Amino acid sequence: MVLTIISHTPHFQKDNNVYGWGPTITEINNFSKLFSKIYHIAPLYDKKPLKSSVTYNSKKIYFIPINPSGGDGLKNKIDIILGIPQQLKIINKYCKKSDWVQFRAPTNLGIYVLPYLSYFNKTKYWVKYAGDWTQKSPPLSYRLQRMWLENNFNKSYVTINGKWASQKTHTVSFENPCLTNNELNQARNKTKTKIFSDKLNICFVGSMTPKKGVGILISSLKLIKDSKFIKNIYFIGDGPYRKVYEKEAKEIKNMKINFLGALPRGQLNSIYSKSHLIILPSFSEGFPKVIGEASAYGCVPIVSNVGSISQHINNSNGILINKISIKNIYYSLMLLNKNRDILRNMSREIFKISNNFTYEFYIRSLKTKILDL
């Protein structure tokens, strides 16, 4: 079988090699176990690869570049419109060569690619919707794509995060893969030896933006008067607000706070292996892959009750915050510090969910739920 993937995943070129965002490229690398040939249509940027970027590891995979589009301002909006014919020409060419097409949403591409797939494409396809399927006030573009996917389902499936009471039959619940079986086994050994009676390491992993709750997390750390129980705090990720948050964090004199930027997976696993807690006070999520990754290392989550997170996180394996606030994050952190036995038990419990986030589990689900193999 031949697969064409259409996504907005940023790609970069260096020394004749193509690099893309690690989690997506790793997922596609695993698709090579199912398909004889894979075309990935995605934007190519004239920039250096990010630290979190990786290369394709199979000769079955062919990267098909399109020009980047999007952004704020009238010029960028006009560029999107002008680029549509050329992008659809490329997409049409490779869809005709394929047995299956996967479109990864939500993205600006979805405004015109979804109608194309429904009305002009004859190849079977499915859509991976990675955002919050039940988000109450999504951006207009996301809202339109979700409405389309709910009501235009000829020839297609839509994979979503979580299981919902109002879910239609063509929407299929899928977990976001992020671990190999080998990584899971290595992480299990690290989890067994993790000590919770000493100082704690805490991590945040995500983009440096307000919607991820980074500013609120930093403000909650300022409330801690006696921080002797904390060894290190790691902020992993990059974004437009990183320097703002670094400057704000420097005001906290009694903690060792490290901004490490985007990290390759091996270094990120090292952070998980020594961290006891992962704090993600996001305002909108589907289900963050980093929760699945961190769970394998027994990192206890303090997380927002958004998206499908509550379908995996409960009082036995973490703390779910219904209303994100500075004080609620602070109280959650202090509670777990004072109850180390509970923290240790939560670590053992959170590890149990990690089996659901392996690529091997994902491939099996894809074969039976979508491809009917």
Rounded CA-CA distance 231/213 in Å is 22
Bridge partners (DSSP) listed for residue 61: 38
Please measure the distance between the N-terminal and C-terminal CA atoms of the chain and give it in whole angstroms.
11
Helical H runs in 209-256?
A: 214-222, 242-249
Task: Give the residues of the chain that fall short of pLDDT 70.
Answer: 70-72, 153-155
Alpha-carbon distance 18 to 36, whole Å?
A: 20
- In which element (H, E) is residue 58 found? none
11-14 and 17-21 as β-strands: parallel, antiparallel, unpaired? antiparallel
> Which domains does the chain carry?
2-176+358-369 (3.40.50), 181-355 (3.40.50.2000)
Q: Please say whether the beta carbons of 170 and 148 come within 8 A.
A: no
Q: Among 351, 356, 358, which Cα is nearest to 190's?
A: 351
What does the pLDDT read at residue 189? Answer: 86
pLDDT for res 259: 97
Look at residue 300 and give its three-state secondary structure. strand
**pTM to 2 decimals?**
0.90
DSSP, collapsed to helix, strand or coil, labels residue 60 as coil
d(CA 19, CA 12): 5
Task: Quote the pLDDT of residue 82.
Answer: 85
Integer Cα distance of 48 and 135 in angstroms: 34
Give tens-digit pLDDT for 52-110.
899 999 999 999 999 987 666 777 777 778 889 999 999 999 999 999 999 999 998 99
Instruction: Name residue 261's beta-bridge partners.
Output: 236
Angle at 241 between CA 53 and CA 44, to 5 degrees: 35
